[in-house]
Amino acid sequence: MKVTVFGTGYVGLVQGAILADVGHHVMCVDVDEAKVARLKKGEIPIYEPGLEPIVKENYDAGRLEFTTDAAEGVKHGDVQFIAVGTPPDEDGSADLQYVLAVAATIAEHMERRQIIVDKSTVPVGTADKVAAKVASVLKARGRSDLPFDVVSNPEFLKEGSAVADCMKPDRIIIGTSSEHSESVLRELYGPFNRNHDKIMVMDVRSAELTKYAANCMLATKISFMNEIANLAELLGADIEAVRQGIGSDPRIGYHFIYPGVGYGGSCFPKDVQALIRTADSVDFEALVLKSVEERNRQQKTTLFQKLNTHYQGQLAGKTFALWGLSFKPNTDDMRDAPSRVLMEALWAAGANVQAYDPEAMEEAQRIYGHRADLTLCGTKEAALSGADALVIVTEWQAFRVPDFEVMKEHLKEPTIFDGRNMYGPARMAENGFTYYSVGRPSKLTLKEVAAAAG
């Protein structure tokens, strides 16, 4: 099948490549000329495990093409995917300007029946807005005779495992009332729907809301766990024991109940905000979601508060090693990352940061390369060198089993602020570290361990 994908970001590029990989002929359109030029040279602008060989192989085979020419793109596809960004507007609602711009572009150039698929995360009612935009441009062209459908097909991939998620989706949601569109999308997704039927067909509005409900539920789990972790710290309980205690209940489960430094990334923060605004628009107060958002905002400041308390407000002139810049492991995405909130607070307090991340160094350079109080280091050990303490913000596998002796040699003081509970407090105390983590006894030094042991 001939498919066009507008937007070659984390969603569009992965989805386009995966569709090409099963034999569809995919043309990816982007307005970013530099990005398209890189893709044509075989360079992948984002870090996503396993993506590069799939893009290269399908590009070389001619099944995957890249262009900035929207007219060529519209001409190519029988199905037109919209996979552009939906960033938050000033008031937190989803900014639909990019989605509607693509809708207008499709309508300007279409010459035959089209199925237009909203893959971007868009508020309930957006398919109607896209349809109205297409209809108005067609009318202006005098081509109201051209039939089209607008389908909601939200994307559920996770950055870091996007390729696997697209190849083996948990579900494929198709929001449409058109039998024709349903049957075309069933055919398109057939190769991903073999083991058992993963396709769920529903009305457009339910499909649009399903995506927000999924992300908001996940964000709620995180904020809930962070709330209990903060409470555990104050009550002298251990959140790791509590986590396992509740996870064993199959109604709760072990997934996604890790405490930490708050959620970030390009989806949860903006999607929670957008659903709150959608609720406002129908005069409904989203009480749970507002609390989820506020807990997350506060949680992102907790590492800084621990540092500030430990150093009694004397952070100016200190240097901190920071491990992990991306908002989660296995991606280079730093959008809304907790590391940014922490670094900006440290800089405001006059401290310096020596940072290391396995994949996000280029992105950090792009965002903060101009700062004199940030040193981007080539290795995790280099980041430690001469630093007053280590702060861990992202739970990359590469940080799980460090050489604690080497750490001590590099750091001025053996002090770690761990935002991801990477290590055991007792073991850290035995190793001679002053160790702060999340939702566990706030600090355990050798002396305290000895005292506790009697």
Ligand X SMILES: NC(=O)c1ccc[n+]([C@@H]2O[C@H](COP(=O)([O-])OP(=O)(O)OC[C@H]3O[C@@H](n4cnc5c(N)ncnc54)[C@H](O)[C@@H]3O)[C@@H](O)[C@H]2O)c1
Chain-centroid distance of CA 267 in Å reads 5
d(CA 272, CA 258): 19
Residues 6+ apart with CB under 8 A from 451: none
Residue number with CB closer to ligand X (12 or 402): 12
Q: Are strands 434-436 and 148-152 parallel, antiparallel or unpaired?
A: unpaired
Contact of 347 with 415, CB cutoff 8 Å? no
Smallest separation (angstroms) from ligand X to the CB of 116 = 13
From candidates 7, 324, 338, 414, binder to ligand X by CB under 6 A: 7
Smallest separation (angstroms) from ligand X to the CB of 101 = 5
**In 3-state terms, what secondary structure has residue 315?**
coil
Smallest separation (angstroms) from ligand X to the CB of 333 = 7
Amino acid identity at 142: G
User: If binding is defined by CB under 6 A, does position 367 make contact with ligand X?
Assistant: no
Q: Which of 18, 359, 329, 4 is nearest to 163 (CA)?
A: 18
* CB atoms near residue 295 (< 10 Å): 20
| x/- track of binding to ligand X for residues 140-179 (CB under 6 A) | ---------------x-x-x--------------------
Choices 56-64, 97-105, 185-193, 385-393 (CB under 6 A): range interacting with ligand X:
97-105
Phi, psi of 265 (to 5 degrees): 90, 180
User: If binding is defined by CB under 6 A, does position 267 make contact with ligand X?
Assistant: yes
User: If binding is defined by CB under 6 A, does position 49 make contact with ligand X?
Assistant: no
Check 28, 216, 267, 377 and give the catalytic one: 267
Beta bridge partners of 67: 29
Choices 83-91, 188-196, 353-361, 368-376 (CB under 6 A): range interacting with ligand X:
83-91
Whether 166 is catalytic: no
Choices 78-86, 296-304, 321-329, 404-412 (CB under 6 A): range interacting with ligand X:
78-86
User: If binding is defined by CB under 6 A, does position 266 make contact with ligand X?
Assistant: yes
Residues 6+ apart with CB under 8 A from 344: none
For 354-379, the DSSP string reads EEE-SS-HHHHHHHHTT-TTEEE-SS
User: If binding is defined by CB under 6 A, does position 16 make contact with ligand X?
Assistant: no
Choices 82-90, 274-282, 354-362, 368-376 (CB under 6 A): range interacting with ligand X:
82-90
Residue number with CB closer to ligand X (267 or 411): 267
Beta bridge partners of 417: 391, 436
The set of catalytic residues is 267
Contact footprint for ligand X (CB under 6 A): 6-12, 29-32, 35, 83-86, 98, 101-102, 120-121, 155, 157, 159, 266-267
